Structure 1
Amino acid sequence: MREGQGKGWLAIIVFVCTIHLNAQEITVRGGFIEDSLLIGQDVNFWIASSYPPDLEMVFPDSLYTFSPFEFSDKTYFPTKIKGGLAYDSTVYTIQSFEIDQVQYLKLPAIILNGTDSIVMETPLDSIFLTELAPVVTDSTKLKTNLDYQAVDRQFNYPLMYYILGGLAVLIIILLLIFGKRILKWLKLRRLRMQYEQFSEVFNSYITKLKVDPEPELAERALVFWKNYQQRLDKVPFSVMTTKEILSYDFAKELDKPLKSIDRVVYGKRVQENVFQDFQQIDEFTQDRYSTKVEEIKDGK
């Protein structure tokens, strides 16, 4: 996208958020920038929010289903703090291949709160489809063609059955030959998607802890990490103490960072370099992810 367009979107979004600032402490707004679209043409949908800086809000990423639209690109604007509120905004570039005259979309914004999350949505917005073909009316003149056209009078069902049978046999052969590879690919893809989502949110926690090393923020980051690590290693990290986690051999390297974070979280002590402890945890999780990838590739 051009830089000038990005600045224009940002001005629109900041203006909308300012209007609703006094209405409520947390606001989520959004809508189409354009009034109409053509099939397959890029259009833009903006989403913006204002909320207290001690909360964590996440917008949809490229893996979200934008139905009836298809995701193409996004422009993210960094969080701004103003007047005691945090402002986030993103512009999504999407496309539609549907032929409905009016098409609708709304997007969620997720507030992360420990093990829970709150989903807020933008108002449902609409956009009109521009038709390139003229509308056929009663006065439209049609060109008559009286030439004889040979057509089949009966559908060839036997041929259809042969084709379907051949496809079924081909699919079975492909599954027998490549079934394990396909299953392995699906597992790796799901593992990668989960890790990328975790990494994006967890690194935002680390960035905020560099600026504001509050015990409450550190606690939310710790709970978020435990929940993901539990899915990755199939170990109930979310209900385990630091001592119980360290009893696993593969988690021994977490001794120093976890104990340091415990002093911050349970002792309610502000420690400026606590973000470094979370960076060590992030490196540990990255290693565990790589280990799981290799295990799947080796067929374990």
Structure 2
Amino acid sequence: MRKIILSFFWLFTFIFPFAVKASGKLPIGFFKRDSLKIGQIIPYTLYYQHPSNEEVIFPDSAFSFAPFEFVSKTFFPTRSSGEVSTDSAIYMLRTFDLSAVQHLQIPVIVWQNGASQQIKPASDSIFLQEMVKVTPQNVASLKSATKLMDVRKRFNYPYVLLGLGLLLILLLVIWGLFSRRIVANFKLYKLKNDHKAFVSRFNAHIERFNRSQSLQNIEKAITLWKNYLTRLEGSAINSFTTKEITQFYGEDEDVATALRLFDKAIYGNMLSDQSSETIVAFYLLHHFADRRYEFIKDQTLHVVVSR
């Protein structure tokens, strides 16, 4: 009931401050309720009427509100009438102190003639509500006997989906900016590895032919060469005849000479007499494959640089 009376008194004097004249009164500070719970926010009203020539400062968050903690503060504009001014504020506080009755005085700081003075209102008290009425007699043994429950870990799907979404957006941006360069560099990498494998296998056929002088090695080498150029050029060269291959490469001298010598060795049965010519044919095809690889590689590089 005391709190209600003080609240009405504060409202009345705040709304009608000009009906009261300053007479050196102390500030008025009070809680809006009689009791509170641990951690519950409660308003505390601070009200002060003073002469208009006084400069008044209300405490802010830096002030020690012990045993309470500061949460927020609401100011009200100064009201003046003649020689009387009225200042007021509402502080939102909370407490984690276990004292049954807790007291608070929030002072007002008055500046006048270069000096400051703290003026305190009458102390107001508030009761702490007890939520546990009966305390177990043997709390220590109860705590020691308590077993922790295993809790299954939960997968954080929102964060994973967010991360995947951001990664996808990043990859799309990178692809949009550098897709042509990435594709061209991948083609260069593939060209290099394919040519390296071709050279290794083609040289192996040359070595076998040097040892055995076998027509089968010639046929396998030509088939390997045609299949490599088919992949390199993107044309079905492995299905072309000797004449069609020569025409496809614009009567290139290396191609024409090498294929003519191979045809002579295979179909003319002249291998035993002209094996040195066959070796020349091997190296002509090898040299031509190197030249075509360099040409295709330079074209791919030109695409990367120009874009």
TM-score under structure 2 length normalisation: 0.45
TM-score under structure 1 length normalisation: 0.46
Q: Who wins on radius of gyration, i.e. which is larger? A: 2
